[in-house]
Structure 1
Amino acid sequence: MVKPIQISNTLSLKRFSFLSFLFFLSGAAGLILQVVWMYRLGLIFGNSSYATSATLAAFFLGLAIGGWFLGNASSKFKRPLSAYGFVEIGIALTALLLIPGIAFYETHYASIVTFIDGDRNLLTFFKFIFSIVLLLFPTVLMGGTFPILAQYIGKEKHQLASKGTFLYAVNTLGAASGAFFAGFFLLSKFGVNSTYYFAIILVGSIGVIAIIIDRLTVRNKRTSSITEKLGTTTSIKKLVNIPSPYNINYVQFLILTFSSGLLALSAETIWTRMFAQVLQNSIYSFSAILVVFLFALGFGGLLSHKLVKTSLKPKSVLLILLSIGAIAVGTTPLIFYYLTNGLEYLAPTASWFNYLLSVFKLSFLVVFFPTVIIGAIFPFLLKAAPILDQAPGKFVGKLVLFNSIGSTIGPVIAGFILLDAIGISMSIKTVALFYGVIALYIAFTFNTKRLKCWLFLPIVSIIAIVTLTSPPIVRLEKGEKILKLWQSSDGIVSIVETNKNIQMRLDNFYVLGDSKSILVEQMQGYIPLLIHPSPKNILFLGMGTGITAGASLSHNVERVVVVELVSNVIPAAKHYFSPWTNNLFNDNRVEIIEDDARNFLLGSTEKFDVIIGDLFTPWHAGTGSLYTIEHFRQAKAHLKKKGVFAQWLPLYQLTPESFEIICKTFAAVFPEVTLWRGDFSESRASIALIGHEKGIKLNQEVLKKNISNVISSVGNTDNSTNHMMGLFYLGNLNALKNRFSNATINNDNFRTVEFKAPILSQQANAGKDTYIIKQELYKLFTTLNTTLPANKDPYLSNLPQREIKYVEIGLKYFRYLQFINKGKENEANTILSQIHLLDPDFLKTKEETP
């Protein structure tokens, strides 16, 4: 017979170490769950900053409720460790509610949108409420884990301060580990669903182990009586303030608890936007920043653990942490600007491994130290708090309550008020100043004899922050000037002028369009509409400059819907690109909607003749969902009979492997797929995958009618019978089936594009892979032309031969331009001679272009 373990009132080191390991795993599993929640809800709520904030707010609100409710209840638990185990099991079980909850949302969302007539504010409110309902049970239980464990370990205040700070630290370090493994391994290797179930099983296992340990432990009668007394007497005692001048009072305790969550999460929100100005902005980049932030918070907990063991006065420690934290946070924009050499793109030609090292290095150098300092404030309150006669669980529950409320409000204030109103640098200054002001407030409560001494540090920190200069937030090259910029949680949208060209940028390095590319952007709107029999209702997923959407107004359209995710892109396009948008912003047929593309489709019941997907950067976080089979199916469901869906692809941002994944995914939804070019560039080529119904063929009369509409709309009276549309036709996707037969299909579970494209892109930057440009591009075009020639392509079978020949001319013309750009006149003239054999009148002079 196995004898039960006998323990004393003091928790044994061995058992506490094992408990700490369980709480480490709990932090890791909890963060993995949160990552999956953010991803899954991002798909159905939309990847807009409002939807993300609604989800985060619901998460922290649940933690706050759980901290308060279970913290109060914990003092009545006779076996807190078993209670903790059951709470962890409860988290696992209630996390399963996400699956039917999302299915319910997707089924009824369109009805809700119709009911509230698409009101965006009401929709945001509805998403917030639904987030709360969906995440309430698991997050409430999560919020109760720390208070319940505090009840188990903290029979005396010094025990709670010492062991509580250590538990907080290991839990946060566990969360950092969870963020690392989820972002860099689990999701890409095993998919979203398997990762989610793994986290659920891990949480449930932690609960079971905790219960088993508690059942194997039998306290002696004396320990039991102490526990019972604590549960019945201390839970009803009132809060009292420590009279000592070295401790904070109750009001200060509440302010610090609330502000530590509010300011830390505000800083993290702003830092993320700051880093977006120089990073690839893939899921890996954001994961790296999150890992470093959580890792630093964990070390802040360890620093706090060391501080509570010293004889330093709590109020003095807090004042020093607040003052140093204020300066450390306030200087991060200048440090960031210096380390990035004036906002240069980070490690543009580095290998993937070295690029990640650069991201982690930059994150550590900029945010690690300030986060360690400000991260030590919250757990140190376990020692500095004035509460003596209250059960440990109830006390820690109050800490979790006010800290989580602050964490709920902080990102909202930072993302939707500060960034919009004063920008990145001033927002960070504001956060830093609040740390300094709180330090000053604490200093004024010191003994008058030492007041001058303690006022010095916060005053110096405030003066230093106020006098710091704010570095530029947009990098400009020689000859460039900013016409205007907008800042928000969506990013920095800037209008930059150079050499009489007006360019729209997002986060410094993402060009959304420019005035010199007007013809290319117009063609991206023209081509899908030209091949449709009667394009009346058009949907654009993504707007950019608005030039592409404006091109549709040259047709006899009845309704044009334009969906744009980044809110400030809309006023930027309206103010600076209206001359080239064909009256897009004043035409009564046009409706411009600020929304996520997938979320709009989910909530709409409208069907369209033509849907056009913009050039989405494949490695950008969130855009990978716009290349999934689920998105393509959703777009197809919104097409009318004979409708077409065109997805434009930036080949200069795609490697062959990424391109093949997207092609295979697209072909899995649309039975007939054709490829079209929007330009003849060899270094910045854009092509469209256009999905059709099975058996659809290109109609000569339709082309002539639609081209006639476009020509007449621009005042051209050319009555030429040849439309030369074949110049822009690349071929049938069936010609590439062997090429992408081994590619994987990109879906919401295995986000292959989102996880592979950043790696492949960086490898191409480092010269270890290649984008589809120049010779790789010509190779692609040649494969299409030779594997399934235009005269055998069933899609072109209704066209006369005089038009089909322009497909071959298009390939030769592309080759001709390649030789011209390389200065190879003889080779270019040879190609030109071949072109003239097909059409003697084509390109009569070298300067002419079609």
Structure 2
Amino acid sequence: MSSSLKGPTRKRANREGAARAGDKSPHDIPEVGLYPSRDQHASVRVAILSGILFLSGIGALIFETLWLRLSGLAFGNSIWAAALILSSFMAGLALGNGIAAWSRVRRWRPLHLYAVLEVLVAFFGCTAVFGLPLLGELMRPIWQTLWNYQPALLGLRFILSFLILLVPTTAMGLTLPVLIEDPVLRRTNFGRAIGFLYGFNTLGAVAGALLGEGYLIAAFGLHGTGVTAGLAVCIAAGIALLVARYGRDMSPHPKLSAQRIFPLRFETHYPPPWRLLLVSFGTGCILLCLEVVWFRFLRLYVPSSPTAFAVMLAVVLAGIGLGGLASGALHRCSIRPNHLLSVLLLLAAIATLLSYSFFPPALVQMRIGTFDLSWRAITLSSIVLMFPAALLSGILFPSIVANVQARVGNRMNSTGITTFFNTTGAAVGPLLASFLLLPGVGYQWSLVLCAAGYALLGILVSDRSNWSFRRPIGLATAGFWVALALIVVAFPYHRDDLHFGYARHFLGRLVKKVEGPSDTYQLLRYDLFGEPYHYQLLASGFSMSGTSPQSQRYMRMFAYLPLAFRPESEDVLLICYGCGATADAFLHGRHVKIMDVVDISKELLGLADSYSGINYSNPLRDPRVHTFVQDGRFFLQASQRQYDIISGEPPPPKVAGSVNLYTQEFFSLTN
């Protein structure tokens, strides 16, 4: 029967058969103009699905920020606790990506499956929002049992956080790969579709970041914001169901059978394009590593507040989202950015170095110790530093996915496996930056190493055309390599001293500077008649503590006042060490035998030996003192020890994460 097909009829049948078989066409470009109604319908479907993913991005980002914020109530706000939550979140996304990479949709319409996934995100996302604040108290007996077994305690916290976020994050990881399987989208260019869908989904995350911090949390509280996020996700699911019901699929779908109701089947066999997947891993790792380094650098100029973090995150996501739209537009114009991967990676390396080199310190500068910097100033500084590299990263990812699809064939599998490697790299990046690069080489050399990583990936992905001077792409590649070499030679390697100087407003004498996993500390000394008069401790650009007479007056009162009410106290707990004034005051208590000092930063405790002055002695050298590097709230939850006095001098509640030390629940733990 098929042999009797002639001319255009036979071509049409072959093309539709190829689409149903998994899009085996190398570049997946339809014959535009042969079927204008279908092309138009596919364009409308791309627009509708982009709107759906925009709503999904709003809800997903709000959920992510709420989970990270509320997890501090259950697992603490230390750098290790934050790393655990982030790793759990990324692991769930990667699991969803992995399922999409090695399975295919069976017996369900993709939009129906997508709607189910979004409902799961909404339900379990809201469950996590309401349940995380209760988890700390429920797990308190177990925390106390394992307190002397810190590795086991750390492992249990990771397992719990992973299980709590498993269902919603896995569903999130599946949504984009499943949606790209919509049969109508097979009538459009794959690179264009993935670019627009990815771009609008990320722009939705921008709206979620700004709405959540700028309005929703203040208006509805954390629980109300969680419900709002779930509502946005459910609206996306409802629109998807309406599109599936009333839209024209142009593809038959068999009815559900009782014997095979599960929508996914693990049956895919294809040779993975390892070089492209390694590039996907590398770009995800470098971008998230850069994000941590960028945020650390900008904190020298902007306050460490949730508002500042939301604006900075929104700028990065806006760059990625607009880059995705640019990639889709390039594919729409029949330009194939997948052949320009090497050049795009070189441009990302150049943008990383130039954005830092030309960052104007005078653009944003707050008064020391204040939180009055405007959204406009934070946005401008973030755009100058982060937007160029983020934009190029947004162009890169859809281009890599399109290149992988040309080799793998199936759209869902290619999107899933590329996103799996990218997400895995994104999980490694923050850990690499926080625990290796920043403490080891500082933020400036971390930026240089990230730029070098982009350049190495450019070499890895390049082919013969990138090195042929007979082709324009070869000339462009050579030109960008020369430009990168010149930038490396002329790079201002001592510019970090200037930025640290602006952070301290060039006041005092710098005694010591420490770039740790969680913050950057500068200890300043002020002399009087050539002798040390007082010290000031800066955490990034914020004056965290000091030893001036005015400062010591109230900090010592945190010890003298409770000792006046309970002079017989023997066991004392001090949460947040600062400059040690409160600790020194407690040690003057007549009956104090044991004082435990809990602080979130090992580096801050290490600065205790850097102070000097008349009659000064390091309180941490006293044999009665024991130090713990831990979040104060989690310490109270997990430690079984009882104290006669619990005191502290935490940072202001506007400092990100510190608000948990000012809540009613925190003070109830001290009883």
Q: Please classify the TM superposition score into its range, dividing by the shorter chain length.
A: 0.7 to 0.9
Q: CA RMSD in A?
A: 3.0
Distance 1:197 1:568, change over 3 A: same
> 1:86-105 maps to which residues of 2 (within 5 A)?
86-98=116-128, 101-102=131-132, 105=135
| Residue number in structure 1 paired with 2:632 | 597
The structural deviation recorded for 1:283 is 1.3
For 1:383 and 1:430, the matched residues in 2 are separated by 28
Distance 1:491 1:340, change over 3 A: farther
After superposing the two structures, state which structure 1 stretch, 482-491 or 288-297, moved more.
482-491
For 2:40 and 2:505, the matched residues in 1 are separated by 65
After superposing the two structures, state which structure 1 stretch, 436-445 or 95-104, moved more.
95-104
1:531 is aligned to 2:584: no
For 1:37 and 1:55, the matched residues in 2 are separated by 8
1:66 is aligned to 2:96: yes
| From 486, 504, 507, the counterpart of 2:540 | 507
SS at match of 1:527: helix
- Work out whether residues 8 and 223 of structure 1, in 8 Å CA contact, stay in contact via their aligned partners in 2: no
Q: Which amino acid aligns with 1:144?
A: L
Distance 1:505 1:429, change over 3 A: same
Q: Relative contact order (alpha carbons < 8 A, sep ≥ 6): 1 or 2 greater? A: 2
| Residue number in structure 2 paired with 1:495 | 523
The number of residues matched between the two structures is 612
Distance 1:377 1:466, change over 3 A: farther
| Residue number in structure 1 paired with 2:257 | none
Map Cα deviations across residues 776-824 of structure 1 (whole Å, 9 max, x no partner).
xxxxxxxxxxxxxxxxxxxxxxxxxxxxxxxxxxxxxxxxxxxxxxxxx
| From 254, 270, 274, the counterpart of 1:238 | 270
- Work out whether residues 512 and 545 of structure 1, in 8 Å CA contact, stay in contact via their aligned partners in 2: yes
1:329 is aligned to 2:352: yes
Map Cα deviations across residues 821-842 of structure 1 (whole Å, 9 max, x no partner).
xxxxxxxxxxxxxxxxxxxxxx
The structural deviation recorded for 1:580 is 6.2
| Residue number in structure 2 paired with 1:141 | 171
1:215 is aligned to 2:238: no
The structural deviation recorded for 1:157 is 9.2
Distance 1:580 1:107, change over 3 A: farther
> 1:108-187 maps to which residues of 2 (within 5 A)?
108-152=138-182, 156=186, 159-187=189-217
> 1:4-15 maps to which residues of 2 (within 5 A)?
11-15=41-45
> 1:363-762 maps to which residues of 2 (within 5 A)?
363-385=382-404, 387-443=406-462, 445-446=464-465, 449-450=468-469, 453=475, 454-465=477-488, 467-470=490-493, 471=495, 472=497, 473-475=499-501, 476=504, 480-499=508-527, 500=532, 501-514=534-547, 521-555=555-589, 556-576=591-611, 582=617, 584-635=619-670, 637=671
Distance 1:121 1:328, change over 3 A: farther
The structural deviation recorded for 1:105 is 3.2
- Work out whether residues 11 and 153 of structure 1, in 8 Å CA contact, stay in contact via their aligned partners in 2: no
For 2:264 and 2:635, the matched residues in 1 are separated by 54
Q: Which has the larger radius of gyration?
A: 1
- Structure 1, unpaired ranges of 5+: 1-6, 226-230, 241-249, 638-850
Distance 1:439 1:485, change over 3 A: same
SS at match of 2:644: strand
Q: TM-score, normalised by structure 2?
A: 0.84
The structural deviation recorded for 1:301 is 0.7
1:304 is aligned to 2:327: yes
The structural deviation recorded for 1:192 is 0.2
Q: Which amino acid aligns with 1:404?
A: T
SS at match of 1:134: helix
The structural deviation recorded for 1:532 is 1.1
SS at match of 1:331: helix
The structural deviation recorded for 1:144 is 0.1
The structural deviation recorded for 1:269 is 0.9
The structural deviation recorded for 1:234 is 12
- Work out whether residues 155 and 392 of structure 1, in 8 Å CA contact, stay in contact via their aligned partners in 2: no
The structural deviation recorded for 1:24 is 0.4
| Residue number in structure 1 paired with 2:29 | none
Distance 1:224 1:193, change over 3 A: closer
For 1:479 and 1:358, the matched residues in 2 are separated by 23
For 2:613 and 2:184, the matched residues in 1 are separated by 66
| From 28, 52, 66, the counterpart of 2:82 | 52
The structural deviation recorded for 1:60 is 1.1
For 1:447 and 1:212, the matched residues in 2 are separated by 46
| Residue number in structure 1 paired with 2:366 | 345
For 2:327 and 2:572, the matched residues in 1 are separated by 59
| Residue number in structure 1 paired with 2:7 | none
For 1:444 and 1:211, the matched residues in 2 are separated by 44
For 1:40 and 1:358, the matched residues in 2 are separated by 28
The structural deviation recorded for 1:187 is 0.5
The structural deviation recorded for 1:485 is 1.2
For 1:135 and 1:478, the matched residues in 2 are separated by 45
After superposing the two structures, state which structure 1 stretch, 105-114 or 585-594, moved more.
105-114
- Structure 2, unpaired ranges of 5+: 1-36, 255-262
Map Cα deviations across residues 345-401 of structure 1 (whole Å, 9 max, x no partner).
279999x6x812111122122211221112211111233336445321111110111
After superposing the two structures, state which structure 1 stretch, 535-544 or 495-504, moved more.
495-504
- Work out whether residues 305 and 655 of structure 2, in 8 Å CA contact, stay in contact via their aligned partners in 1: yes
For 2:338 and 2:326, the matched residues in 1 are separated by 16
- Work out whether residues 285 and 427 of structure 2, in 8 Å CA contact, stay in contact via their aligned partners in 1: yes
After superposing the two structures, state which structure 1 stretch, 318-327 or 305-314, moved more.
305-314
The structural deviation recorded for 1:531 is 2.1
SS at match of 1:381: helix
The structural deviation recorded for 1:87 is 0.8
Distance 1:514 1:165, change over 3 A: same
SS at match of 1:600: helix
Distance 1:153 1:224, change over 3 A: closer
After superposing the two structures, state which structure 1 stretch, 202-211 or 477-486, moved more.
477-486
For 2:402 and 2:386, the matched residues in 1 are separated by 26
For 1:332 and 1:125, the matched residues in 2 are separated by 39
SS at match of 1:450: coil
